[in-house]
Amino acid sequence: MAEASKAPPRPGLKRLLRLSEAKKVSLIVSAIFAVISSVLSLAPYVLLALLLGGLVGEGELSQSQYDQALSLALWVAGLAALRYLLLFISTMASHMAAFEILYRIRVDLCERLGHLSMGYFSLRQSGKIKKILTEDVENLEQFLAHHIPDIVAGVVQPIAVVACLFYFDWRLALVALIPLPLAAFLQRLAFGRDKENEYRREYHDVLEVMNGTIVEYVRGMPVVKIFNQTAESFSTLKKAALGYEYYLDRLTRLMAPAWAMFVVTTTSGLLFLLPFGLWFYLNGTITFQNLALFLMLGSSYMSPVLKLALMGGQLNHLIEGLVRVDEVFNEKPQEEKPTLRPPAGYDVEFNEVSFKYGQKPIVQNVSFKLKEGGVYALVGPSGAGKSTLARLLTRMWDIESGSIAIGGVDVRDLSFDDLMKAVSFVFQDTFLFSDTVRENIRMNNQAATDQEILAAASAAQCLDFINSMPNGLDTLIGEGGEVHLSGGEKQRLSLARVILKKSPIVVLDEATVFNDAENEARIQEAFVSLMEGKTVLVIAHRLSTIVDADAILVIDEGQIVQMGSHEELLAEGGLYRNMWTAHEAARKWKIGEEAANA
């Protein structure tokens, strides 16, 4: 409850208006031109009524009547053209301002996401973050480009119409106002404030779940196809889609009757005006041109009210999306300090480090030291905390207690830029950007020459497949690229990145776990170039690859339980020897061996 009380207030119209301050002048110009355009929209109707009044009569028109009618017709056409020209200028100004504001919001969101810890992304589906960056931000365009000028014009136009109607005939003006209170009551009935906010929240919640599930389904498509699954049989996706369908069905059933009555009421002005207007006309208390004017204007002045009601629903919808956007902006970024003292060397020391993932302890009171230039291995059962422990070194998460130091300087006392220059991380899951080979290799060193890039590629054993590509270093790779790379080739390109980066500390997170024998041999050769003169921490899956490490750290349930060389740990027994025995048994196992021995 304490957390809820500290939550930031729900954003509203003021928050939306603050977003528009960066382009305030353009949006004010848009609103002014929209108002002038909406007022000018009345003039053709008034002139047309005068024209009809002049044409109604007996016999042929005199020359003066003809000239007057022609003049009025030209005025109608001219004012209509001017009205649409001003509307065009208003629309262009608001849209250009909106797109620039949306661009800045997306850039700011990406910058904020880049300063959040990995824990933020681990606790959220990628589909939810995608929805915030795309749909929720895009919905703000509705307010900035449409709602600001439309709301101003939508308020001014009915007032101007009603004032005009009262000027010509106050009795029919009162008749024209009859639908207004009915529409207000029905609109409130359809969209009560508290009820609507609740529905908007539900809509965004179910949409986020469905977005995340769709992303998961697409990413898992190879597995889905292998096991002959379909979208219908993928239970999580089916459940999310049915949840979205259920929400929309319930919302429609609840709101549709009142909303339908509201729409009918706002378009029913003629139902009241026609009988009263004809009665007044037949009694001779109203002219034909005034009757024509009321039938044209009085029957349609509620159209902006209907538009405003629609915008009101959209406004609450996009405000709920803005809640999600502000959640990202309100998320506390990782604290960054400027580097006041550079590391004195590249020893790495963990001192009583503890870390929780949510409420679950992952690392508990871990202490060890990696000497500069040494090669160290981190092994343990699956889920023991190996990858988490290594990632704490690069502040992908911040520790709960203790300290992690590089060259005697706490990593929290280094700027992110200096920390990233000091440490390179090779993940087991390799990601390549949709760009050229050159740009993928030099992403950590934009000043690198082609000679340096090729030297790094050679050290990473990449030249064989790069030279076979249609455009060499200029070949597009990644999703939608010109060539398809195998997992091993992708891994070697990622090693070329790290070699070119020239960081003094390297972390290898099970970098060969999914590779075939040929690729693993190539990657092991690349490791020789990568690890030369570096402080290296290897998260090992295949124990045979780390037997020559300077020291092996064995982690179990978030704690270091053994430490020493391969021979020392085998002699000591315990978890490491059990793991080695299982590893050796797996290496010697052959297909059909159990059946043959049975």
Q: Where in the chain is the domain with CATH 3.40.50.300?
A: 348-592
Residue 143 DSSP symbol: I
Residue that wins the pLDDT comparison between 577 and 479: 577
The mean-pLDDT minimum among 167-181, 389-403, 501-515, 532-546 falls in 501-515
Task: List, for residues 412-444, the tens digit of each pLDDT value.
Answer: 999 988 998 899 888 777 778 888 889 989 988
pTM above 0.85, yes or no: no
Please give the C-alpha separations between residue 162 and each of 19, 169, 400, in angstroms, as whole numbers: 33, 10, 66
CATH (residue range 8-330): 1.20.1560.10
Q: What CA–CA distance (Å, rounded) separates 319 from 298? A: 33
Most confident of 121-125, 210-214, 555-559: 555-559
Angle (CA) 45 51 57, round 5°: 135
pLDDT of 511 > 70? The answer is no
Q: Where in the chain is the domain with CATH 1.20.1560.10?
A: 8-330
Q: What CA–CA distance (Å, rounded) separates 440 from 495? A: 11
Q: What CA–CA distance (Å, rounded) separates 203 from 244? A: 8
Q: Which has the closest alpha carbon to 115: 398, 418, 336?
A: 336
Mean pLDDT along residues 570-576: 90
Class level of CATH domain 348-592:
alpha beta
pLDDT of 328 > 90? The answer is no
The first and second tokens of residue 366, run together, are: 């871990």
Residue 512's pLDDT is 53
Residue that wins the pLDDT comparison between 426 and 566: 566
The first and second tokens of residue 13, run together, are: 């119209």
Q: What is the DSSP string of 76-135?
A: HHHHHHHHHHHHHHHHHHHHHHHHHHHHHHHHHHHHHHHTS-HHHHHTS-HHHHHHIIII
User: Which value, in Å, is the radius of gyration of the alpha carbons in the chain?
Assistant: 35
Q: Band the pLDDT of 144: cuts 50, 70, 90.
A: confident
Task: List, for residues 56-102, the tens digit of each pLDDT value.
Answer: 554 455 667 667 667 777 887 888 888 889 888 988 888 888 888 88
pLDDT of 4 > 50? The answer is no
The chain-wide mean pLDDT, for the chain, equals 79
Residue that wins the pLDDT comparison between 124 and 113: 113
**132-136, long-range: CB < 8 A, 24+ apart:** 132/321, 132/324, 132/325, 132/327, 132/328, 133/106, 133/109, 135/207, 135/321, 136/204, 136/318, 136/321, 136/322, 136/324, 136/325
